[in-house]
Amino acid sequence: MPLPEAVAQLNKKYVNKALVHLAGHGWFVELEHVGRRSGRTFRVPIMAFDGGEVVTVALTYGPRVDWLANLRAAAGGRMHLRDELLVLGAPASLTEADGRARMPQPPRALLPLLGCHDYVEIPVLSRQPFSGW
């Protein structure tokens, strides 16, 4: 297994379980999506940047991550962002320049150094206070 895949599997199995507790703080969110094959509900921690009508996500593991394929197949999902629950529409790819321009500092400067060149925007269909899943 190539190193990036091994790191992704390690994160999926162990690190995500710890990071999910940061959801709602800063740029950390908890994204809920439904498996396109299993029909199961999954929640993963990611970093997302709120732009009002859209949320922008840097695809640090590239565009072939399961959560993105699942969001696309279901045309959306839900997200716990700070003290809100967002209902999301289907994600759309962004150019690297557009995606990076939406990032605050320091992520804007660090993401290219980490090899991140892919970004998506996800429309926010509605917002409500987050009271738990």
Give the tens place of pLDDT for each residue, 30-47.
999 999 999 999 999 999
What is the percentage of the chain residues whose pLDDT exceeds 90? 77
Residue spans per domain, the chain: 3-129
- What pLDDT sits at residue 21? 55
- What pLDDT sits at residue 28? 87
Q: Whole-angstrom Cα distance, residue 111 to residue 37?
A: 31
Beta-sheet strands, E only, within the chain: 28-34, 41-47, 49-50, 54-58, 77-81, 84-88, 92-94, 119-129
**Which residues of the chain have a pLDDT value below 50?**
3
Q: Whole-angstrom Cα distance, residue 83 to residue 95?
A: 29
CATH topology of domain 3-129: Pnp Oxidase; Chain A (2.30.110)
Do residues 50 and 64 lie in contact, with contact meaning Cβ atoms separated by under 8 Å? Answer: no
- What pLDDT sits at residue 27? 77
**Pairing state between β 84-88 and 41-47:** unpaired
Do residues 45 and 30 lie in contact, with contact meaning Cβ atoms separated by under 8 Å? Answer: yes
